[in-house]
Every structure is written in structure tokens, then in C-alpha cells.
Amino acid sequence: MSELKNPLEIYAALAKSNCGQCGVPSCMAFAASVLQGQKQLAACPYLDPAVVTQLGQRIVRRRSLEDDHQQAIQELRRQVALLDFSSLAPRLGARLVEGNLAINCLGKDFCITPSGEMISDCHLNHWIYVPLLYYVILCKGTEPQGEWVPYATLPGAAEWSQYFSHRCEEPLRHLADAHCSLIFEMFHLFGAQPVVLSGGADHSLQILPLPKVPFLINYWEPEEGFASKLNILLDRSAAENINAQSINLLARGIIEMFRQLILRHSRDGKLF
């Protein structure tokens, strides 16, 4: 029996009505979702059960981003399990609590167990989980130097710099434009400290996503004829304590957290 690897082969068996009852907007999208393991064939109300069984036996599910993500986490957890937490904690700026590493992130403790699991009262997601695991594995304990540099200048950041600009700095700028007072109030609630620098930014705040990895947020409010500006700078020592990809995830996670907080507390449930 030949394997089904192409969504068109699944699409050919569908009613092509685009009814949406499966939870996706079109039959083609449904076929692709089935191959990616996101949907089951039985979710289509028009497929005969015998056809579902026949096609199901031939499907070879593609690896999804989630598959790759989980595989990466398992490898990181394997490396964490080899570490001696008692000697590691001081280097990380962490505490040892009941055998777990308690690492402070924006004023909240996240605990990593000896098996690499994460425990926290906060919502758990990969924005913080993967960077925490990398931090535990890679951190050399280098103290921040107070020398702020653009993300793109860090080792290994070149391939991520465009993403950092478009998915981290720009979205945060838009949030600050729309909710300036609220955004900076939230930063302060999460432990941000004002920083006085030359350059004339209207707001300059240092935050600590991880104990040895500070971020500097600079925001220039819009003026007549000039759009606002925002950048996120890193201490030059950051590359000694974490990798560039994890910095990207941390920044993205902070923005997603702020988005959710604004949506939760806005009167009409909108960001803009």
C-alpha cells in the first residue's frame, strides 16, 4: 500500500465544499492539516468511515515545528540532567530550592528540576522554557559590563537580526505608541529600572529577563513630522551567558505577554 505524502491526494477524496465544519476554512487547508498531524480525517463530516480508515493507513505525517521543538527540548533536558545544580546556582545568579534551580525572570521565579522540567506559577510556554534551559547549560556567569550594543552585533545573531527587528522591536514600538503609559507602567511592575543615557530617549529602562542577561529598552515618542523609535539593546556580555536565538525568544515572549495583558484589561478587548 503506497504512502500518502501529498495533501492533494487527501484533497481528492474530500467533498471540496469548503464547509468549514472541520474547523479550518477550506478543504485544501484541511488536507494539509491532516498530513501535519493537526487534524484527524474523521473531522470531515462528509468522509465515509471506510475511506477514513483506508486513507489513514497510508498517511505519513510530516514533521511539524512542534515536533522539532519538542525534540530540541528533550535534548536540552538531557544535557541539564548531567549538571551539578549546587555548584551551578551561584554562576547563574539562581537559588537552590528543594533541589531545583530557582531562576528569576522579570521578578518571577521559574524553577528548573534536575530532570530539566520547568515549574512556575506563571503560564508556561516555550518563549521562556527554551531560553531558561539554554541559560542553565551555557551561562558562564559573566557579570554585565554596562556596555550596551545592538542585538545584531552579538555572536551568532546575524541570521536572527531581521527577525529581532521585525518581530520584537517593531511590535513593541507599536504597543508603546498605542499604550505608552500602560506599557511603561507594566515594565516597572516587572522590575524595570530607569537608566540615564546620552541619546535623548524619552524612556530608557533596564529589565532583567534573566539574572545575567539584562535588556535596555529605549523609546522615543513620536513628534510632529517624526515617527516614534524604539530599540532593544543587550549588554556586551550577553553572548557569554546565553545564545542569540534564546535572546530572540525572550524578547518575543515579553511582547506576547504584554499583548495578552493589554487584551485582558482593555475595555473592548483590542490592542489598537
Cα dist from 147 to 6, 151, 234, 267, whole Å:
52, 12, 8, 40
Query: Of the residues 73, 107, 138, which one is the last residue of a structural domain?
Result: 138
- Amino acid letter for position 255: I
DSSP state of 159: G
Task: Write out the residue range of the structural domain in which residue 173 sits.
Answer: 148-265
User: Please, what is the average pLDDT of the chain?
Assistant: 90
Query: Of the residues 138, 162, 183, which one is the last residue of a structural domain?
Result: 138
Q: Which of 256, 241, 171, 184 is nearest to 211 (CA)?
A: 241
Q: Within a domain: residue 159?
A: yes
Tell me: do 156 and 96 sit in the same domain. no
- Mean pLDDT value across residues 185-195: 94
Q: Rounded to whole angstroms, how far apart are CA atoms 242 and 249? A: 11
Q: Is the pLDDT of residue 56 over 70?
A: yes
Tell me: do 111 and 21 sit in the same domain. no
Q: Which of 125, 151, 140, 153 is nearest to 231 (CA)?
A: 151
Per-residue buried b or exposed e for 160-169, using 16+ beta carbons within 10 Å of the residue's own CB: bbeebeeebb
Q: Within a domain: residue 119?
A: yes
Tell me: do 52 and 73 sit in the same domain. no
What is the domain count for the chain? 3
Q: Which of 107, 121, 94, 93 is nearest to 186 (CA)?
A: 107
In tens, the pLDDT along 153-185 reads 999 999 999 999 999 999 999 999 999 999 999
Q: Rounded to whole angstroms, how far apart are CA atoms 148 and 158? A: 17
Q: Which of 28, 31, 27 is nearest to 4 (CA)?
A: 31
pLDDT, position 178: 93
Q: Is the pLDDT of residue 7 over 90?
A: no
pLDDT, position 223: 92
Q: Within a domain: residue 255?
A: yes
Q: Within a domain: residue 155?
A: yes
Higher pLDDT residue, 120 or 61? 120
Q: Within a domain: residue 143?
A: no
Number of Cβ atoms within 10 Å of the Cβ of 129: 22
Tell me: do 130 and 236 sit in the same domain. no
Give 53-102 as a DSSP string: HHHHTTB-PPPPHHHHHHHHHHHHHHHHTTS-HHHHHHHHT-EEETTEEE
Q: Model confidence at 200, in pLDDT bands (50, 70, 90)?
A: confident
Tell me: do 180 and 198 sit in the same domain. yes
* Residue 7 parent element (H or E): helix 7-11
Cell 505608552 found at:
180
Q: Which of 243, 176, 246, 174 is nearest to 204 (CA)?
A: 176
Q: Model confidence at 212, in pLDDT bands (50, 70, 90)?
A: very high
In tens, the pLDDT along 27-40 reads 999 998 888 778 89
Q: Within a domain: residue 1?
A: no
Query: Of the residues 92, 117, 138, which one is the last residue of a structural domain?
Result: 138
Percent of the residues in the chain that have a pLDDT greater than 70, as a whole number: 93
Q: Within a domain: residue 76?
A: yes
Torsion angles phi and psi, residue 15, rounded to 5:
-75, -15
Q: Is the pLDDT of residue 269 over 60?
A: no
Q: Is the pLDDT of residue 248 over 60?
A: yes
Q: Model confidence at 239, in pLDDT bands (50, 70, 90)?
A: very high
Q: Rounded to whole angstroms, how far apart are CA atoms 187 and 174? A: 15
Q: Is the pLDDT of residue 191 over 70?
A: yes
Higher pLDDT residue, 144 or 263? 144
Tell me: do 188 and 260 sit in the same domain. yes
Tell me: do 244 and 176 sit in the same domain. yes
Q: What is the pTM of this model?
A: 0.76
Q: Model confidence at 69, in pLDDT bands (50, 70, 90)?
A: confident
